[in-house]
């Protein structure tokens, strides 16, 4: 990393493990004051210990569960009250759920955590992000381009997102016909789709919004995504994957590289700019998704 982040504020979600821990640590060591939202204070303490005494005072922890609408709203308010400007927001938190689960707000958990948390923080921190001319980085997954778990035969099968008759995001990823891998991919597609629209809106104030696929990284999410037929070989499979440090590299680059200043509304597969399904570029779909996402937070944002 060649950026000077001294006196800059960076918000990083999912920072207590995996890639997020690497991203947070690298930003702290580059001089940034890093704010993270953690559900488990003990894991946040472990992150502080990992950073060491010289850097630990540049880590700020806000307690919250990003799958809960009230916690997203409360965390954003706490951060905005403490920081007039935010210069980096890395929406890294995410999870894969092998069974159908619903959040306390009645939304399927992939939608709640893998899309609404990122959207909510970006929208609720609008003022500080604009004042900081921030870089917003959304960690997605290339499952959005191909939802097949075993890709040996046939053509790619992109994630789908049909919002034509949808009045509430709670209607998406229903229990009937639930396929975990496709539900996960759809939520990541939603984050990228919303990000394209947010990038246009925020550009006037110098804020950039980009998304990335970090590669196949050896994390708990990948363990869940391994098809049952391949699970006996999971240990061997992990050895072929990227480390969290490898996976974090693209997110750090998008957040800090001076050569990417002003670059916005893009999707990167590791270090290569790449494409996403046509539906993600459809303006009507983007606007409907933003409207539904705003509505999810509307009561709490009044």
- Assign residue 95 the CATH number of its domain: 3.40.50.720
Domain count, the chain: 1
How far apart are alpha carbons 224 and 98 in whole angstroms? 7
Domain assignment present for 4: no
In a domain, 3, yes or no: no
6 conformational bin, left if phi > 0, alpha if psi -120 to 50, beta if neither: beta
73 domain residue, yes or no: yes
The residue range of the domain holding 65 is 9-301
Which tens digit of pLDDT belongs to each residue from 71-95? 999 999 999 999 999 999 999 999 9
Q: 95-147, pLDDT tens digit by residue?
A: 999 999 999 999 999 999 999 999 999 999 999 999 999 999 999 999 999 99
Provide the pLDDT for residue 301: 45
Give a yes or no: residue 153 inside a domain. yes
Chain mean pLDDT for the chain: 91
- 117 touches 67 (CB < 8 A): yes
Q: Is residue 2 part of a domain?
A: no
pTM for the full model?
A: 0.91
Mean pLDDT throughout 175-188?
A: 97
Confirm whether 138 is domain-assigned: yes
Domain annotation covers residue 239:
yes
Q: Please report whether residue 184 resides in a domain.
A: yes
């Amino acid at each position: 990393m060649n950026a000077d982040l001294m006196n800059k504020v960076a918000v990083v979600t999912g920072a207590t493990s995996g890639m997020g821990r690497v991203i947070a640590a690298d930003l702290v060591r580059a001089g940034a004051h890093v704010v993270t939202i953690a559900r488990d204070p003990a894991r946040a303490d472990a992150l502080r210990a990992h950073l060491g005494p010289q850097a630990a005072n540049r880590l700020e922890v806000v307690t919250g569960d990003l799958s809960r609408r009230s916690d997203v709203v409360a965390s954003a308010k706490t951060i905005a009250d403490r920081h007039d400007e935010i210069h980096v927001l890395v929406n890294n938190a995410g999870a894969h759920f092998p069974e159908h689960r619903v959040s306390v707000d009645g939304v399927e958990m992939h939608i709640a955590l893998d899309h609404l948390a990122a959207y909510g923080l970006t929208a609720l921190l609008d003022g500080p992000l604009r004042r900081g001319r921030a870089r917003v980085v959304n960690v997605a997954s290339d499952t959005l381009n191909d939802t097949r778990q075993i890709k040996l035969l046939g053509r790619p099968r992109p994630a789908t997102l049909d919002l034509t008759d949808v009045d509430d995001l709670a209607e998406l990823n229903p229990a009937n016909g639930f396929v975990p891998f496709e539900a996960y991919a759809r939520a990541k597609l939603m984050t990228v789709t919303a990000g394209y629209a947010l990038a246009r809106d925020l550009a006037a104030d110098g804020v950039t919004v980009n998304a990335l696929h970090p590669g196949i990284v050896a994390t708990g999410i990948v363990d869940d995504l391994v098809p049952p037929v391949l699970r006996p070989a999971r240990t061997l499979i992990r050895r072929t994957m990227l480390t969290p440090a490898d996976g974090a590299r693209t997110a750090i680059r998008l957040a800090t590289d001076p050569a990417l200043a002003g670059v916005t509304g893009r999707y990167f597969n590791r270090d290569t700019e790449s494409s996403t399904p046509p539906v993600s570029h459809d303006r009507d779909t983007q606007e409907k998704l933003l409207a539904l996402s705003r509505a999810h937070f509307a009561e709490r944002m009044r």
